[in-house]
Amino acid sequence: MTTQDLTTPLADRVALVAGATRGAGRAMAVELGRAGATVYVTGRTTRERTSEVGRQTETIEETADLVTAAGGTGIAVPTDHLDPEQVRALVARIDREQGRLDILVNDLWGGEHLLVGSVFGKKSWETPLDDGLRILELGVRSHVITAALALPLLIRSEGPLHVEVTDGTAVYNRRYRENLYYDLAKNAPIRIAFGLGEELAEYGGTAVAVTPGFLRSEQMLGHFGVTEENWRDAIAREPDFATAESPAYLARGIAALAADPGRAARWNGRSTSSAELARTYDVTDIDGSRPDAWAYFEEVKSGGKEGTPDDYR
């Protein structure tokens, strides 16, 4: 094995990160690029157009530039993954330009603006139906469309990898996630990975559902009025934020998983978290810590165990 093999283990791989405008999607695209991959990054916010999320500060073109700067090849393709024709065109372009697809990361969401006020704290029948159905479109239908149309290309790879990104592990999500629509949207990717694990097994493939913990995304930092540099200032307002992790934490674990030749036996059909990936592959967050927010919420907040957020960093 050469030094280059160790530093860029994905140098011959082609990845699609669907939903790479910001947050975990952007970070995963960058880390796959850092490992040498060619990464197609998609989303609805471009330098010319802003999605319903309403943030103009992050674009897919910027993500592609970051992938290239990290050492990979970033290619931005504006795509609404709720439009099957746009997704078909995207997959056809990858096939035409690369002739293969090795890694598919389904990180589609963009429904945060519907949660506070409209969804959380309301019974299903109190939730505006249009908002509830939009959550299911963004969190479920987009994933199904993308998987259905990209998998025929993905299975031509040797050892295809399909990653479903959600909020919460299968264990944690046995709890009700506050609202029926949100609960369905965040459990569906776990079941998609389970089902696709069954279907991909004969191709030597891996389907896995992953979740970050308390993510310091651009939107979350903005919510608390802090930046990545002074994020700890938000702990006074929200003590549980002490367990927060940067988007790079999950991304480093995903890059390591993608480079793992034994990943199918270890992960296929499973649900996992950024913290479990970090322990398995010996990676850390950008500050050298290994936060485990889900263990904190499971054991302390829900289970009554004595402990503080700092105990789970």
**DSSP E strand stretches across 4-126:** 14-18, 38-43, 73-78, 103-106
pTM for this entry: 0.95
Most distant CA pair in the chain: distance in Å? 60
Exposed, middle or buried, 65 (CB in 10 Å: 0-12/13-18/19+)? middle
Q: Helix, strand, or coil here: 192?
A: helix
Which residues touch 102 (CB under 8 Å, ≥6 apart)?
A: 13, 14, 15, 37, 154, 157, 159, 160, 161
- Contact indicator for 87, 81 with CB cutoff of 8 Å: yes
For residue 233, what pLDDT is reported?
A: 98
Cβ neighbours around 240 below 10 Å, total: 16
Rounded CA separation 223/20 (Å): 20
The pLDDT > 90 percentage for the chain reads 90
pLDDT tens digit string along 195-254? 999 999 999 999 999 999 999 999 999 999 999 999 999 999 999 999 999 999 999 999
Q: What pLDDT band is residue 60 in, cutting at 50, 70 and 90? A: very high
- The vertex-195 CA angle with 190 and 201, nearest 5°, equals 120
Domain count, the chain: 1
pLDDT tens digit string along 141-185? 999 999 999 999 999 999 999 999 999 999 999 999 999 999 999
Give phi and psi for 278, each to the nearest 5.
Answer: -65, -45
pLDDT > 60? residue 104: yes
pLDDT > 80? residue 313: yes
Give phi and psi for 16, each to the nearest 5.
Answer: -120, 120
pLDDT tens digit string along 266-296? 999 999 999 999 999 999 999 999 999 999 9
For residue 51, what pLDDT is reported?
A: 87
CATH of the domain at 148: 3.40.50.720
For residue 55, what pLDDT is reported?
A: 81
Q: Which helix (H) or strand (E) holds 97?
A: helix 84-98
**What mean pLDDT, rounded, does the chain reach?**
95
Could you report how far apart the first and last alpha carbons of the chain are, in Å?
Answer: 34
Host domain of residue 199: 3-312
Specify the amino acid at residue 93. Answer: R
DSSP state of 51: -
pLDDT > 90? residue 56: no
- Which of 62, 59, 1, 6 has its CA nearest to residue 34? 6
**Where does the chain have alpha helices with state H?**
3-7, 23-34, 60-70, 84-98, 129-136, 142-154, 180-200, 218-224, 247-258, 263-267, 274-281, 293-296
pLDDT tens digit string along 1-55? 554 566 899 999 999 999 999 999 999 999 999 999 999 999 999 888 888 887 8
List C-alpha distances in Å: 73 to 30, 34, 102, 147.
10, 9, 15, 23
Rounded CA separation 161/165 (Å): 13
Rounded CA separation 147/141 (Å): 10
Rounded CA separation 133/207 (Å): 26
Rounded CA separation 95/87 (Å): 12
